[in-house]
Amino acid sequence: MTKKRKRDDGGSSLLAANTDIGQHFLRNPEIVKGIVDRAKVCASDTVLEVGPGTGNLTVKLLEVAKKVVAVEMDRRMVREVQKRVEGDPRRHRLEVIQGDVLKTALPYFDVCVANLPYQISSAFLFKLLAHRPFFRSAVVMFQEEFAMRLSARPGDKLYCRLSVNTQLLAKIQQLIKVGRNNFRPPPKVDSRVVRIELRNPPPPINFVEWDGLIKLAFNRKNKLLHSIFTTKAVLLQLETSWKTYAALKQGNNCCEAPDIKGLVDGVLDNDRFKGQRPAKMDIEDFLALLAAFNQAGLHFT
Ligand SMILES: C[S@@+](CC[C@H](N)C(=O)[O-])C[C@H]1O[C@@H](n2cnc3c(N)ncnc32)[C@H](O)[C@@H]1O
């Protein structure tokens, strides 16, 4: 095997992959090129790369970006990626931060590119979705099922809390399916690369309260919910509130976004609904709730 082939295969063969922290290195240069092409990096862009590993994506990103800031947890990989760009005239455009990306304040970036360690998929995704100022887009590789959940629509088997919350905050586009044999060592499942673009402006809600409602709605085993969550009443309240909010916003009157938790608590406390035969909140009811949000101007597509 030639020296170059070793590099394409994930860097120095002396470095053992630590799969406990998601080390599965891309060994197919075509996939590396496909990811970098789809990231649509401009010559003036700063790219945030999460988990550069042995630098397979990093060296290609340096060919197209003004700057690459890479965050890598494993000190061995930090040394490896730095060694890999030694002698490269573009090495001054690479900054490697050693640390856990979940505990690191994200630097300024225009585009994020990551073959993400799967253990941190959800935590990093929501860190990204909460990141301001706006970045242009993120092109990220996830486990296949996780990626499909991100863009699942009502009625799909994979539609879940993750789908609703992600689509509330971002637009998701499925890009490339990547079979497990494109990695060294191969993971147990296939992967997919997706594009993530933040919605701008972000929806005017308190995300923690919203997520509380979505969590209740998807937790179908929650007896308490089934017995007290009178769907139609909540629906009506929320719809009215969103319509009022949308109308005030259109008229440029400053208005606070509706307090979702307050609304739900208000409905549950309301004497009018006490003792009423409980309505079951099943997935159909929940979809009706989402449809009401759509009608009231909060869109999920
Ligand atoms: C799937 S590998 C990708 C390596 C390389 N980008 C590639 O495509 O060949 C994930 C990388 O993320 C690193 N990593 C794991 N957890 C991390 C964390 N919490 N913060 C930063 N890097 C992490 C691993 O050490 C590993 O290098």
Whether residue 117 has a cis bond before it, omega within 30° of 0: no
Whether the predicted pLDDT of 190 surpasses 60: yes
Number of the ligand 1 atom closest to the C-alpha atom of 124: 19
Sign of CA dihedral 12, 103, 194, 163: positive
Calpha distance 26→281 (Å, rounded): 44
Find out whether 275 is annotated in a ligand binding site.
no
The β-bridge partners of 172 are 196
Q: What is the pLDDT of residue 201?
A: 73
Number of the ligand 1 atom closest to the C-alpha atom of 101: 20
Q: What is the amino acid identity at position 64? A: V
Calpha distance 39→27 (Å, rounded): 19
Q: Which residue has the higher pLDDT, 289 or 153?
A: 153
Residue 223 φ/ψ, nearest 5 degrees: -60, -40
Whether the CB of 228 sits within 6 Å of ligand 1: no
Class of domain 207-295: mainly alpha
Calpha distance 125→196 (Å, rounded): 9
Q: Which residue has the higher pLDDT, 138 or 289?
A: 138
Whether the CB of 152 sits within 6 Å of ligand 1: no
Q: What is the amino acid identity at position 94? A: L
DSSP characters for 157-213?
A: TT--HHHHHHHHHEEEEEEEEE-GGGEES--SS-EEEEEEEE-SSPPSS-HHHHHHH
Q: What is the pLDDT of residue 217?
A: 60
- Rg (C-alpha) for the chain, rounded Å, is 23
Question: To the nearest 10°, the Cα dihedral for 292, 203, 36, 32?
Answer: -60
Counting ligand 1 atoms within 8 A of each CB, the residue from 21, 118, 128 with the most, and so the one to mutate, is: 21
CATH, range 19-198: 3.40.50.150
Name the DSSP letter for residue 67: E
What tokens does 283 get? 């997935």
Whether the CB of 236 sits within 6 Å of ligand 1: no
Tokens 């109308």, located at residue? 247
* Range 28-53 average pLDDT: 98
Find out whether 26 is annotated in a ligand binding site.
yes
Whether the CB of 45 sits within 6 Å of ligand 1: no
* Range 166-175 average pLDDT: 91
Whether the predicted pLDDT of 198 surpasses 80: yes
Q: What is the pLDDT of residue 287?
A: 54
* Range 92-113 average pLDDT: 97
Whether the CB of 100 sits within 6 Å of ligand 1: yes
Residue nearest to atom 27 of ligand 1 (CA): 53
Whether the predicted pLDDT of 2 surpasses 70: no
How many Å lie between the centroid of ligand 1 and the Cα of residue 102?
A: 12
Q: 281: closest CA among 231, 208, 209? A: 231
Whether the CB of 52 sits within 6 Å of ligand 1: yes
Q: What is the pLDDT of residue 222?
A: 45
Counting ligand 1 atoms within 8 A of each CB, the residue from 73, 76, 77 with the most, and so the one to mutate, is: 73
**Per-residue confidence band for 77, with pLDDT thresholds at 50, 70 and 90:** very high
What ipTM is given for this predicted complex?
0.99
* Spans of all domains in the chain: 19-198, 207-295
Do you know the residue count of the chain?
301
Find out whether 110 is annotated in a ligand binding site.
no
Whether the CB of 72 sits within 6 Å of ligand 1: yes
Q: What is the pLDDT of residue 168?
A: 80
Q: What is the pLDDT of residue 169?
A: 85
